[in-house]
Structure 1
Amino acid sequence: MLTLLTATGARPRAWAICERLMAAQDYTGQVRWVVVDDGPVAQPVSFCRPSWSLEVVRPVPYWTPGQNTQARNLLAGLAVIKPDARVAVIEDDDWYAPDWLTHVASQLERAELVGECRARYYNITLHRGRQLSNTGHASLCSTAVRGRALAGLREACRRAPKFIDLDLWRQPRSRLLFGGHRVVGIKGLPGRCGIGMGHRDDFRGAEDQTGALLREWVGPDAELYL
């Protein structure tokens, strides 16, 4: 079984897209999806798929504007996940190729901490895309863990740094980075704002007013964002 861990809340449009992207995954194994929603109003959940189970955790107090509750919420999800689980972090506002879970599950056979390097960010409000050059770590949205790396994710969340991915990937352990561009960090969706650089108004990248770059990166799914 593969366990997915998603922290969300106050992002109904992003969550609806995330449901569609997970419904399109070609992974054929069993999946347990743990969703932590700390929004003041629970987001509608319509996801249903054979061999998948979905559990919603509602930690309190609920999020209020200006707060960063990511670490707390991930810990709330990890609290119901056993130490022997294989866990892929799925962020609610990012794009995942249909073969993402299949690929990441295969990579977890090779190492305890796996992720996609050379991240791509795209801000749909600014119509800008940027190819990053990170080769020493993966963004949290494209990271999966098992074994000691799962314990390391718990430790990183307890320390509650602003960027949990950097803390996690600095820890020495069995690790594997791979390419492939199966994930795009989508920024600027309506609702609760993220904390990364891609969400800022001064985010720099290639101008893409026609959406051609986004279509190149995510194919027909670009219409979900444009």
Structure 2
Amino acid sequence: MHFHDCFIRGCDASVLLNSVGNNKAEKDGPANLSLHSFFVIDDAKKELESYCPGVVSCADILAMAARDAVVLSGGPTWDVPKGRKDGRTSKASETIQLPSPAFNISQLQQSFSQRGLSLDDLVALSGAHTLGFAHCSSFEGRIRNFSPASNVDPAMNPSFAGSLRNMCPVNNKAKNAGANMDTSPTTFDNNYYRLILQKKGLFSADQALLNFPKTKNLVNEFASSKEAFTRAFVNSMIKMSSITGGQEIRKNCRAVN
């Protein structure tokens, strides 16, 4: 959720705002429909407002919640810089700015560089997929009817593609059908990178990390060393969370003041 927030208008908690009237907010954009548990942020905000009203922004709460989710999953901790402000604008149409699961390495590099993030940040932050879940629609094009020459994306392990087809049958009707992006989805570890090396990344964008020497070297490094991954992840999270935006400190994270 924190990543989806920061990549639109900066880390301004615009992803938390509800749609109002004719304005469809970010959380209701196609790329954000899998986000959930907004109530966790609401509960934290309510508690903080009871002790120090008007001091802690929703954007800061979101940044700290992201850190705490990593810690509770067995990952590293870090000091989260404070002082973010909450935004007053949230548009579903702007979620098109989020990196697509189908992006190639050039598109990924451009998306990240536009936000002051490097290839190192790209590979490190992609590791957050260790706790990720993907709906069938985000990788459907890789597991069947990929091209006239190949039913399955050649960059995907064939047996892995077969297991995904079983999870995501043709004309699937299950709203939440999909797959975990890691074999240990509740544990923050480096298995995500090991799976990429086995051609078992769910997204084209995951496997694309092997298509450029620098990013491929980092995937190999992080796959072999959890310590190297966690160090890089912490640095990149602090860097990403410093992308600024916002104008106020909301009283209610779901609505502007």
Query: What's the TM-score, normalizing by structure 1?
Result: 0.31
Structure whose residues are more often helix by fraction: 2
Answer 1 or 2: higher relative contact order, Cα 8 Å, separation at least 6: 2
Structure whose residues are more often strand by fraction: 1
